[in-house]
């Protein structure tokens, strides 16, 4: 009897064990199949995303860069001050008589001051509520206004100081979350008292160094952002292009420099070098005003008639020719030792350009450039073609543009600043000024 019971239990136990084993095996198979199915689905989804960003747009620019470097979701809000919101702000935009237009200011290499203002106004990250803003954009066309006689240096300085004194959120953070654009070689020095008033603010500028003319540079690598200069829209946006790049075999010169001497040593050396080697180096005497002024198309035709476009420093370290060269597809040769280039976390400039010591401008430079095989030149041009979308001031809907890259650079700097020399707080958490007035009641 015990034997029968024992055998019965053993049989039930073995049957149960086999059932568990079969169930476990089925679970493993099911899990494997589901995992493979999910992997395949995710792979297809990722492939779709990559394909959508790796496509080549109508201008021949690869969009894969934007996906690889500036990917994810932007999570920031920017408040743009209205021109009528603060007394004096219109002066920085249109001059003392209000007769300088944005259309005049958007032209030329300093047009970034207008383009960035317009792009921030149209951006999806713009907020109309100051209390939820991460950053505050202060619009100003001050370089253009100064060049056109709308304000002098003293008036610019006084106007900025007056405008800033009326911004409670600027005072709350000590200006740390406020953004200013200074589009020329002078950088923030256009505002003479910048060191006293906006030395903590974020400055967008193409100029990273002015220590050759001043004791200090207004550019700070930790907070400020180098931006590209404003390249002619006819070369960056229009289809067909203002000028089409020439094949290397049809280019007349090894290298060129298009610009005025301005009494600068490097430029003067290039002009003299061109006189000695006119078949290799073109440095034409260009007219930028008067009846013999070079037209836009003629300028870019000249620029694109060489394998290498030389970019020496002028009044300051940065030069627009560096950016222009990518759109006529010549290799830029930087002859400016202190130059700062934009988006250096993302772009390997050694793959798309050459930087040569400005102290060695001479036959050694021409010999070196002449020694580079056309295949290597073509490769550098090809890589530059995929990067040049970063010099184009297009809306953020374009995954690769100067504006999109600037937004991602701003996101890296995102942090909360609610403390300055003017802020104090009480036991209940309320923020007050030195007169114990609560923040919401601050006026001037």
CATH of the domain at 301: 3.40.50.2000
Last residue of a domain, one of 170, 203, 230: 230
Q: How many CB atoms are closer than 10 A to CB 34?
A: 10
**79: helix, strand or coil:** strand
Domain stop point among 179, 203, 230: 230
Domain span holding position 339: 233-392
In angstroms, how far is CA 367 from the centroid of its own chain? Answer: 34
> Both tokens of residue 2?
């015990």
* β-bridge mates for residue 309, sequence order: 256, 332
Q: Are residues 225 and 257 in the same domain?
A: no
Position 439 in a domain: no
Q: Are residues 206 and 239 in the same domain?
A: no
Question: Quick check: is 361 in a domain?
Answer: yes
3-state secondary structure of 444: coil
User: Whole-angstrom Cα distance, residue 339 to residue 193?
Assistant: 24
Q: Clarify whether residues 119 and 183 are in a common domain.
A: yes
Query: What pLDDT digit, counting tens, does each position of 216-270 carry?
Result: 788 888 899 999 999 999 999 877 889 999 999 999 999 999 988 888 899 999 9
CA separation for the pair 102, 141 (Å, rounded): 8
CA distance 162 to 90: 12
Based on the domain organization, do 256 and 226 belong to the same domain? no
Measured CA to CA, the distance from residue 139 to residue 116 in angstroms comes to 9
Task: Examine the fold and report which residue of 369, 392, 415 is the final residue of a domain before the chain moves on.
Answer: 392
Let me know if residue 190 belongs to a domain. Answer: yes
Q: What pLDDT is recorded for position 149? A: 95
pLDDT, position 411 = 92
Domain identity same for 90 and 125:
yes
Same domain as 238, residue 134: no
User: In the prediction, which pLDDT does 55 show?
Assistant: 41
Do 180 and 200 fall into the same domain?
Answer: yes
Q: Which residues partner with 80 through β-bridges?
A: 137
Are residues 239 and 173 part of one domain? no
As a 3-state breakdown, the chain gives helix, strand, coil percent values, each rounded to 5, of 45, 10, 45
* Residue 231 near residue 284 (C-beta atoms within 8 A): no
**Would you state the pLDDT for residue 383?**
95
Q: What is the pLDDT of residue 18?
A: 59
Tens digits of residue pLDDT in 53-106 = 334 444 444 444 544 566 678 889 999 999 999 999 999 999 999 999 999 999
Instruction: Look at the chain and report how many structural domains it folds into.
Output: 2
Q: Do 91 and 217 have their domain in common?
A: yes
What are residue 8's phi and psi, to 5 degrees? -65, -45
Query: Is residue 148 situated within a structural domain?
Result: yes
The verdict on 291 and 320 lying in the same domain is yes
Q: Which residues of the chain have pLDDT under 50?
A: 1-16, 35-64, 66-67
Same domain, 270 and 189: no
Task: Say whether both 113 and 206 belong to one domain.
Answer: yes
Instruction: Give the residue carrying structure tokens 């899990």.
Output: 31
Q: Which among 340, 374, 334 has a CA at the least distance from the CA of 356? A: 334
- At 33 the three-state DSSP class reads helix
What pLDDT sits at residue 398?
A: 86
Whether 36 maps to a domain, the answer reads no
For residue 13, tell me if it sits in a domain: no
**Is residue 240 in some structural domain?**
yes
* Spatial contact of 293 and 287, defined as CB atoms under 8 Å apart: yes
| Residue 440 in domain | no
pLDDT for 428 equals: 82
Residue with tokens 């743009």: 80
pLDDT over 90, % of the chain: 61
């Amino acid at each position: 009897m015990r034997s029968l019971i024992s055998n019965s239990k053993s049989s039930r136990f073995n049957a149960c064990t086999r059932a568990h084993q079969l169930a476990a095996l089925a679970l493993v198979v099911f899990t494997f199949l589901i995992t493979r199915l999910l992997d395949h689905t995710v792979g297809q989804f990722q492939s779709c995303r990559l394909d959508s960003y790796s496509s080549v747009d109508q201008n021949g620019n690869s969009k894969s860069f934007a996906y690889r470097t500036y990917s994810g979701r932007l999570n920031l809000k920017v408040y743009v001050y209205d021109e009528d919101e603060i007394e004096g702000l219109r002066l920085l935009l249109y001059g003392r008589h209000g007769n300088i237009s944005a259309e005049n200011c958007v032209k030329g290499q300093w047009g970034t001051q207008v383009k960035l203002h317009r792009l921030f106004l149209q951006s999806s990250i713009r907020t109309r509520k100051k209390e939820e803003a991460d950053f505050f954009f202060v619009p100003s066309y001050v370089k253009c206004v100064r060049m056109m006689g709308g304000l002098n240096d003293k008036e610019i300085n006084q106007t900025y100081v007056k405008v800033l004194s009326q911004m409670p959120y600027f005072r709350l953070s000590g200006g740390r979350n406020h953004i200013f654009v200074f589009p020329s070689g002078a950088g923030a020095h256009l505002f003479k008292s910048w060191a006293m008033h906006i030395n903590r603010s974020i400055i967008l500028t193409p100029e990273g160094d002015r220590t050759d003319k001043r004791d200090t540079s207004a550019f700070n690598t930790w907070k400020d952002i180098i931006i590209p200069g404003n390249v002619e829209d006819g070369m960056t946006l229009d289809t067909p292009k203002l000028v089409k790049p020439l094949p290397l075999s049809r280019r007349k010169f090894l290298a060129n420099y298009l610009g005025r001497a301005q009494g600068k040593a490097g430029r003067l050396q290039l002009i003299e070098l061109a006189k000695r080697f006119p078949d290799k180096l073109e440095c034409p005497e260009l007219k930028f005003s008067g009846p013999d002024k070079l037209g836009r198309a003629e300028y870019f035709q000249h620029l694109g008639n060489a394998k290498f476009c030389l970019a020496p420093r002028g009044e300051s370290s940065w030069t627009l020719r560096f950016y222009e060269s990518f759109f006529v597809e010549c290799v830029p040769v930087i002859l400016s030792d202190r130059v700062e280039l934009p988006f250096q976390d993302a772009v390997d400039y050694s793959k798309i350009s050459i930087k040569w010591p400005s102290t060695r401008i001479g036959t050694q430079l021409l010999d070196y450039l002449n020694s580079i095989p056309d295949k290597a030149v073509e490769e550098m041009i090809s890589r530059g073609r995929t990067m040049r979308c970063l010099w184009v001031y297009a809306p953020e809907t374009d995954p690769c543009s100067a504006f999109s890259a600037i937004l991602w650079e701003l996101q890296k700097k995102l942090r909360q600043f609610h403390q300055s020399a003017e802020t104090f707080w009480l036991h209940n958490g309320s923020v007050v000024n030195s007169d114990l007035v609560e923040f919401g009641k601050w006026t001037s």
